[in-house]
Amino acid sequence: MKAAILENGKLEIKEVPKPAPKNEEALVRMITAGVCHSDLHLVKGDWPRFVVPFPMPLGHEGIGIVEELGPGAERFIQKGDRVILGLGGAGGGYWCGACEYCLSGRPRLCKETKGIMGTYAEYISLWAKSLVKLPDEVGKREGPLACGGLTAYSAVKKLLKHEVLPGKPVALIGAGGGLGHYSVQVAKAFGYKVVGVDVGQEKLDFIKSLGADYAVDAGEAAQFAKEKFKGVYASIVFSSRLSGFELGLKLIKRGGVFISVGMPAASEGSLSLSPLDLLARDPLIMASAVGNVEEMRELVQLAAEGKVKTHISREACLTELPQVFEELEKGSYPGRALINNMTR
């Protein structure tokens, strides 16, 4: 079968053996796979601490059909089921289910957690518990919900947990991108007043079309938030640039919530914070990475109801993946890219 393999910094589409499902695993024939910026970072070597030994299969979100079941997998999924898989890659492949992190809905922090990698392929075999069956209302173009959508959903959901109530203004940095465009839709579904922030008129128009209350260029966002709201109640940063994180901190009011989602390249350095400024402004600062299976089910329900939709700006076959990565690095399109044919 064909699969995208990263080896020593080089991405190749190669012929590899078709996997067989092991205990509690399901063999899934991939129909579509979303192209995530995280995969581009891995190809470029931007995150040295996250690179596993080569060769590494790439891809961690998509939709497919269950074709075979390993022993015990029938308790969780059935042959012929159409499923979404990925769960953001990190933590979606296995978790123990019994530790404090698993029991509190944070399986990514489990010591036994394993990620999902390898969706840029004709087939993938993976733990059946990580699969979510799709209703007919959710089409095959919604594969990027598995990472981009879930990551945005989990981040926005944290606003409620930390008492940022619906109706309050929140800023979404990088709102026109692959993750950010989901966050606009989810935040509106939750009832927030959305300030979408990005760069360039095309992305600002796109953000408005998603239902944002305001679409503001990054260069004007700090002044806008100060004059309009005296600071937003929360900012969620989906940008992969350190400047987006610095902007997100500027936008929040005293006592506001700052949520870090995007992951800049390690070469961009660290975010600098003044302890005196922290004391004066008293923000709540946290990170948010992917989500869990139950949150995926909640997001699928929103998608089935038409409240969240993946906006695909680029479709390609598997052999065009290197070109798609080049376009993604240049920021050539808003929304997401989709691999829609794994056989060529």
Nearest-angstrom CA–CA distance, 60 and 23: 21
Q: What percent of the chain has pLDDT over 70?
A: 97
Look at residue 50 in the predicted model and tell me its pLDDT: 60
* Residue 210 pLDDT level (bands cut at 50, 70, 90): very high
Look at residue 201 in the predicted model and tell me its pLDDT: 93
Find the mean pLDDT for residues 57-78: 95
Nearest-angstrom CA–CA distance, 298 and 331: 30
Q: Are 68 and 21 in contact (CB under 8 A)?
A: yes
Question: What are 179-207's pLDDT values in tens digits?
Answer: 899 999 999 999 999 999 999 999 999 99
Nearest-angstrom CA–CA distance, 177 and 202: 11
Q: With 70 as the cut, is the pLDDT of residue 48 above it?
A: no
Q: Are 170 and 232 in contact (CB under 8 A)?
A: yes
Task: Dig out the tokens for 280 from the structure.
Answer: 């004066």
Q: With 90 as the cut, is the pLDDT of residue 93 above it?
A: no
Q: With 70 as the cut, is the pLDDT of residue 75 above it?
A: yes
Could you write out the three-class secondary structure of the chain?
CEEEEEECCEEEEEECCCCCCCCCEEEEEEEEEEECHHHHHHHHCCCHHHCCCCCEECCCCEEEEEEEECCCHHHCCCCCCEEEECCCCCCCCECCCCCHHHHCCCHHHCCCCECCCCCCECEEEEEHHHCEECCCCCCHHHHHHHCHHHHHHHHHHHHHHCCCCCCCEEEEECCCCCCHHHHHHHHHHHCCEEEEEECCHHHHHHHHHCCCCEEEEHHHHHHHHHHHHCCEEEEEECCCCHHHHHHHHHHEEEEEEEEECCCCCHHHCCCCCCHHHHHHHCCEEEECCCCCHHHHHHHHHHHHCCCCCCCEEEEEEHHHHHHHHHHHHCCCCCCEEEEEECCC
Look at residue 54 in the predicted model and tell me its pLDDT: 67
Could you tell me the domains of the chain? 2-147+293-300+310-341 (3.90.180.10), 149-287 (3.40.50.720)
Q: Which residue has the tokens 């992305």?
A: 203
* Residue 76 pLDDT level (bands cut at 50, 70, 90): very high
Question: What are 330-342's pLDDT values in tens digits?
Answer: 777 777 889 999 9
Question: What are 167-180's pLDDT values in tens digits?
Answer: 999 999 999 988 89
Task: Dig out the tokens for 201 from the structure.
Answer: 């008129």
Find the mean pLDDT for residues 116-144: 94
Q: With 70 as the cut, is the pLDDT of residue 82 above it?
A: yes
Look at residue 89 in the predicted model and tell me its pLDDT: 67
Q: With 90 as the cut, is the pLDDT of residue 328 above it?
A: no
Nearest to 239 by CA among 270, 214, 260: 260
Q: What percent of the chain has pLDDT over 90?
A: 67
Question: What are 260-318's pLDDT values in tens digits?
Answer: 998 877 788 888 888 988 888 999 999 998 888 899 999 999 999 999 999 998 999 99
Find the mean pLDDT for residues 49-68: 83
Q: With 90 as the cut, is the pLDDT of residue 40 above it?
A: no
Is pTM beyond 0.85? Reply is yes
Q: What is the overall mean pLDDT for the chain? A: 91
* Residue 18 pLDDT level (bands cut at 50, 70, 90): very high
Look at residue 203 in the predicted model and tell me its pLDDT: 93
Nearest-angstrom CA–CA distance, 152 and 134: 19
Sign of CA dihedral 275, 242, 311, 152: negative
Q: Which amino acid is at 247?
A: L
Beta bridge partners of 285: 258
Nearest-angstrom CA–CA distance, 79 and 99: 30
Find the mean pLDDT for residues 72-100: 89
Q: With 80 as the cut, is the pLDDT of residue 44 above it?
A: no
Look at residue 52 in the predicted model and tell me its pLDDT: 60
Look at residue 1 in the predicted model and tell me its pLDDT: 93
φ/ψ region of 62 (left if φ > 0, alpha if ψ in -120 to 50, else beta) reads left
